[in-house]
Amino acid sequence: MREIIFDTETTGFGVEEHRIIEIGCVELDNRLPTGRTFHTYLNPERDIEFGAIKVHGITNDKVADAPKFADVAHALLDFFGDCPLVAHNAEFDFSFLNMELGRMGMPPLANTMVDSLVMAKKKLPGQRHNLDALCRTYNVDNSGRAYHGALLDAQLLAEVYVELCGGLQASFGLEAAVEEIVAAVDGLPAAVDGAAIAVQASEAEVAAHEAFLKSMVSDAIWLKNNG
């Protein structure tokens, strides 16, 4: 299943008056990163509030020559496709994206919204649920996060999200077990479809079983049916 983990940075907190200045997205396929990302800074066509700059470190000068949202909107929507979109405090990011789309006369996002903050609160009650705290909980290295940044935060959140979903260890363990069975059974086809494996008894094994029944089991039903 394809999913997009994404984050935005903005000029401030009020969606009516503020704009997006950075978008970062990471693609997952079956909870594994594909290496595909989408990232851009945006010219918000207004000043960035000082309080927001202290959070993400993005200044007016840094985005002065960046494209406007309308310039990248179609490429962003193509990257999203119709798959679920995962964000931390997702309503905030969705509201800003939908406001930007509305300014272009476009409909709001129809993608399924997945909020990792809601997931974290359910799975880890009684502790802090911001991204830094979750990185510490799941041993995700966030040492390079001096400021909030949309692409870096999306990459960190992708690792945290996989852990919130139960991690990958269980599936890796099953895969390893299947590989061991394939290696141990002589003549088993290399391609195994699913976890259930059926092994056909060899002619020698059938003969040995029949001999056992003749010597140890009197009047065996199996022999009558297969004699």
Query: What is the model's pTM?
Result: 0.74
Overall size of the chain counted in residues: 227
Q: What is the pLDDT of residue 198?
A: 56
- Rounded Cα distance between 152 and 143, Å, is 11
Beta-strand pair 20-29/85-87: unpaired
Please pick, among 18, 56, 148, 209, the residue that the annotation labels catalytic. Answer: 148
Q: What is the pLDDT of residue 173?
A: 45
Cross-sheet strand order for the sheet of 85-87: 32-41, 20-29, 2-10, 85-87, 113-115
What structural domains and CATH numbers belong to the chain? 2-167 (3.30.420.10), 171-226 (no CATH)
Per-position DSSP letters for the chain, written without gaps between them? -EEEEEEEEESSS-TTT--EEEEEEEEEETTEEEEEEEEEE---SSPPPHHHHHHH---HHHHTTSPPHHHHHHHHHHHHTTS-EEETTHHHHHHHHHHHHHHTT-PPP-SPEEEHHHHHHHHSTTS--SHHHHHHHTT---TT-SS--HHHHHHHHHHHHHHHTT-SHHHHHHHHHHHHHHHHSTT--S---SS----PPPHHHHHHHHHHHHHHSTT-HHHHHH-
Q: What is the pLDDT of residue 27?
A: 98
Q: What is the pLDDT of residue 194?
A: 47
148 assigned to active site = yes
Rounded average pLDDT per 10-residue block, the chain, 227 residues: 98 97 98 97 98 95 98 98 98 98 98 98 96 95 83 96 85 49 50 53 70 59 54
- Rounded Cα distance between 8 and 109, Å, is 15
Q: What is the pLDDT of residue 35?
A: 97
- Rounded Cα distance between 132 and 96, Å, is 23
- Rounded Cα distance between 174 and 179, Å, is 9
